[in-house]
Structure 1
Amino acid sequence: MLRKRFWAIACGLLLVLGTVFAPVDEAVALTDEQNLFLQAWRYVSQSYVDETFNDNNWWILRQKFLKRHLDTTEQTYDAITEMLAVLDDPYTRLLRPEQYRSLKVSTAGELSGVGLQININQDSGSLEVIVPIAGSPADEAGIEAKDLILAIDGVDTKNISLDEAAARMRGRKGTTVALTVQSAATQEVKTLKLARDTISLNPVYAKLEEYDHQKVGYIRLSQFSANAKAEIEKSLTDLGEKGADRFILDLRNNPGGLLQAGIEIARLWLDQDTIVYTVDRQGISDSYNATGNAITDKPLVVLVNQATASASEILAGALQDNGRALLVGEKTFGKGLIQSLFELPNGAGMAVTVAKYETPLHHDINKLGIMPDKVIEQNPIPYRMMATSDDGQYQAALDLLSQQSTLANAVS
C-alpha cells in the first residue's frame, strides 16, 4: 500500500530517499557499474505499477543486461535507459545527476534559467511551451504558450528528452542560451539568445476583481511546488480581508508538481471529503481525505484547459466530484499516474510509475481527462492576457459566479 508519508512530485512523483535492498543472489562479486544497474532494476521490480512489466519477463531482462560489459557509468546509464524503454512508459525514466538535481530544484521554489514551463506535445512529439513565467527572460523575449522549441543551442529537441531539454535551458545566472522557436500564432521560426536569470517560482498570482457589484478573488496557480499551499492560503486570507465573497481558481496550463501540495490545497477548500484514491499494482486502494480545516466555504469556479495535468487534475477532480466547485474551460490533459522518485547511489535518480489515481467518484482520468461542467473552447492566449477582458474562459467564470442561485444549485 502506498504510504501517506511519502511526498509526490509531479506529475505526481513520490519522493523516496534511500536505497531499496534485496537479497544478494550473485555468486560472484559485482562491479560498481553492475550494482548500479541492479539497483535500478530492483526499483522497477519492486514498485512498478504493472506487474507484467508490459508483458516482459523482468528477470530475464536482468540476466540479459548483466551479461553486457558495463565498464563506464555512461554505458550503465544507456543500459538502464534501454531496459526502461521496454515498459513503453514515458514517465518511467532515468534521471542523470544533473537532471535529478534540476527536478528537485524546480519544486523547491527557485532556480536559474529562462523561465519556461515545457511539455512534449502528445500528437506531434514536439517540445512545446506550456507557459512562460511572468517577468522571466522567456516572457520578456515574447515566447508564448503553444510555441515550439525546435532547438536549444543548436541541438534538435526531437533528439533529446524533456528532462534534458529542461536541463539545457537551466544554468548559472548571466550565462546565455540560444532557443530556436516556432511561433504558434504565425509559424515564424527565429532564434532567440536569452540570458539566464534567477527565476522566482512563486506559483501563485492573485488579484481582487470588481464584477457586477461583487468582489471576486482570482487566484492563479502555475505549479504545485513546495511553497504552493502556503501561498494559496496567504492569498485566500488576503483576498478575504479585502472583501472577496467568491473565488476563481485558475489551473490552466498547470502541469502538476508535488502531489502532496495538491492534497494540502484541496484541504483548504474541502472539509470532510475524499480528495483522491490511489491504486497500486496489487489493486490495493488508499485514499487521502480532507481534515476539517477548510478556510473558506465561498462559491468557487475552477478554470481548466488541455494543459491542466496531473496534480492539477487531482485538485480539480476533488473539487468537482465533491460538489465544491464548478469547472469551466476545456477537457484536461489526462495524466492519472503517479511516479516515485528514487535516488541512485551515484547522484542520479529514477522516476518510476508506481500507482494510478482515481477521483473521489472513482473516475480513472488517465488519457481521458476531466470534462468541465461548462465547456468554453479558447485558442491559447499569452500569459499577459489571462484574467482580462480578452480571456473568454475567465469572463465565463465571472458570469457564472454572478449567478449565485445557479451556482448554488449546481454545486449543492
Structure 2
Amino acid sequence: MKRKRIIAGAVLLVFISSMLTFYLTRLIPLAYGEAVIIPREEYELMQQYSKLFQVKNILTNDYVDKIDQSKLVDGSIKGLASSLGDPYTVYMDKKDYQDFTTQTTGSYAGVGIVVSVDNDGHIVVVSPMKGTPGEKAGIKSGDIIVSVDNVKVNGNNLDKAVSLMKGPQGTKVSLVLMRDNKLINKTLTREIIKLQTVSSTMLPNKIGYIKMTMFDENTSADFTKALNNLKTQGLNGLIIDLRDNPGGILEQCVNVADELLPKGLIVSTKGRNKKDNQVIYAKGPGLQKPIAVLVNGGSASASEILAGAIKDRKVGVLVGTKTFGKGLVQSVIDFGDGTALKYTSARYYTPNGVNIQGKGIEPNYVVELPKNYVVTDTPDLKGDTQLIKAYDIIKSEIK
C-alpha cells in the first residue's frame, strides 16, 4: 500500500509539473541564455506581422531622417483601422480624440456641419447645425464635400476632413461642395459651436413641439425637462422634430424613447461578440398621447432609432422624407493616454427587426417642403408643410 501511494504521488507530481510547464510556456516567456521560449500564440502572431516589423526596422535604420518612433506606431495603428474600409472605424490620436469628445461633451471652434459617408464613399453633409457658419453659408443636407482648404477628401479620410474644418475662432476655411452635379465654393469663418440640443414650445390646441438637434450627454435630461414643462401646461399631443438631427449617444436616445414608449422593445443590437448583442426595452407606461415625428434626409443614427421605434411600435407616425440610413453602432476604447479606437461593433435593428443601414426609414406620410423653404428654430404653421401635416394629424387625434 505504501509503495502504491508513493507511485501515485510520483505520477501526480509528474502530472502537476507537466501542467505547470504547459501553462508557463503558453503564458509566460521563458529565457534560456540567448534564446527565449514564448507562447505559441505569440509566435504565430509574430510570424503573421513579421513584414510589419521588417518595415519598421528598415525605416528606423535606413530612412534618410531620424524616425519619431511614436509617430511610426500611431501610423501603423491607423493603418490597421483604415484597412477595414469602414469610415466609422478609426484610431484617434490625442488631437483626433479631443476633437471627437467635444462633439458630445462641450463646445469647439468650427463651421457647425455634421458629416457622414454615403454608400459611394463620399463625405456627405448630414445637416448643418442651427445658427452656425455652415447654416449661414447655405450648406444643405446632401451636399458632398470635395475638398477642405484645397485638400481633397473622401470617406477614407473622414477624420482628416473634420479636423481640417475645425480651427481657431475667427479663422477662415474654404470648402468645395458638390450639389446637383455642380461644384460650389464656400468660404466660412469658424465660430465657437455651442451644443444646445433641445428647444420646445406649446402650439395651439395645447400641442407640444420639441426639437432635438442631436443626442449629446445632456439631451435626454433636457428633453425630460421640456416634456414635463409641456405637461404642466396641459399637453394634448406631441410633435418631435428630428429633422437634420445626425444622432449621437445611443444611451441618450434610449432614455428619450423610454419617456415615450409603452413597455416593450426599443431597439436591439447584434455584433460578432455576445457583449455587443443587446435588447433594450422601455419600462413604460410611455406618453400615452398622440405623437408625430418630423424626419428628413438629415435624420440619422440615433434619430433613426427613436423614429424607428415610434413607427414600429405604432406609438406615433413619421412625417417628412426618408431618413439618412445609418444603422451601425460604434464603440470607443480609451487607451488612457489620450488616444482611443472608435470601431463599428454592431448593427442596430428596429423593433420589427429592420436594419436601415444604407436604406433609411420611409415616413408614414411623405411630405416635401416648398422649394427653397428654410426651416428655422421657430415653428412655422403657415409655411412649414411638414410641421403643418404633423399638427393636423395630432389635432385630429386629440380626444
The structure 1 residue matched to 2:89, chosen from 84, 89, 92, is 92
What residue is the counterpart of 2:225 in the other structure? 234
Confirm whether residue 75 of structure 1 aligns to residue 43 of structure 2. no
What residue is the counterpart of 1:382 in the other structure? 374
Q: Provide the C-alpha distance between the structure 2 equivalents of 1:171 and 1:102, rounded to a whole number of angstroms.
A: 10
Confirm whether residue 192 of structure 1 aligns to residue 187 of structure 2. yes
Equivalent residues of 1:169, 1:177 under 8 A apart: no
Confirm whether residue 178 of structure 1 aligns to residue 173 of structure 2. yes
What residue is the counterpart of 1:361 in the other structure? 352
Q: Shift of the alpha carbon at 1:340? A: 1.0
What residue is the counterpart of 2:270 in the other structure? 279
The structure 1 residue matched to 2:243, chosen from 240, 252, 261, is 252
What residue is the counterpart of 1:395 in the other structure? 388
Q: C-alpha offsets along residues 103-157 of structure 1, whole Å, 9 cap, x if unaligned?
A: 111101422222222233444x443333322222333344343444443333233
What residue is the counterpart of 2:34 in the other structure? none
Q: Shift of the alpha carbon at 1:300? A: 0.3
> Which structure is larger by alpha-carbon Rg, 1 or 2?
2
Equivalent residues of 2:243, 2:294 under 8 A apart: yes
Confirm whether residue 288 of structure 1 aligns to residue 293 of structure 2. no
Structure 1 unaligned spans of 5+? 1-22, 29-41, 43-56
Q: Shift of the alpha carbon at 1:299? A: 0.8
What residue is the counterpart of 2:206 in the other structure? 215
Matches within 5 A, 1:305-384: 305-344=296-335, 346-378=337-369, 382-384=374-376
Q: Provide the C-alpha distance between the structure 2 equivalents of 1:380 and 1:128, rounded to a whole number of angstroms.
A: 20
Q: Shift of the alpha carbon at 1:185? A: 7.8
Q: Shift of the alpha carbon at 1:200? A: 1.5
Q: Provide the C-alpha distance between the structure 2 equivalents of 1:339 and 1:348, rounded to a whole number of angstroms.
A: 16
Q: Secondary structure at the match of 2:206?
A: strand
Q: Match of 1:127, as an amino acid?
A: I
Q: Shift of the alpha carbon at 1:184? A: 4.0
Equivalent residues of 1:301, 1:326 under 8 A apart: yes
TM-score, L = length of structure 1: 0.74
Q: Match of 1:207, as an amino acid?
A: T
In structure 2, relative to structure 1, the CA distance for the partners of 1:351 and 1:61 (3 Å cut) is: farther
Q: Secondary structure at the match of 1:361?
A: coil
Equivalent residues of 1:385, 1:391 under 8 A apart: no
Q: Provide the C-alpha distance between the structure 1 equivalents of 2:244 and 2:365, rounded to a whole number of angstroms.
A: 18
In structure 2, relative to structure 1, the CA distance for the partners of 1:392 and 1:89 (3 Å cut) is: same
Q: Provide the C-alpha distance between the structure 2 equivalents of 1:349 and 1:403, rounded to a whole number of angstroms.
A: 50
Q: Shift of the alpha carbon at 1:59? A: 8.5
Count matched residues: 350
Q: Match of 1:208, as an amino acid?
A: M
Matches within 5 A, 1:1-80: 62-69=49-56, 71=60, 72-80=69-77
Q: Match of 1:104, as an amino acid?
A: T
Q: Shift of the alpha carbon at 1:223? A: 0.8
Q: Match of 1:398, as an amino acid?
A: Y
Q: C-alpha offsets along residues 160-202 of structure 1, whole Å, 9 cap, x if unaligned?
A: 722222222223334x0222244748956334240x3322201
Q: Shift of the alpha carbon at 1:75? A: 2.7
Percent identical across equivalent pairs? 32
Equivalent residues of 2:325, 2:361 under 8 A apart: yes
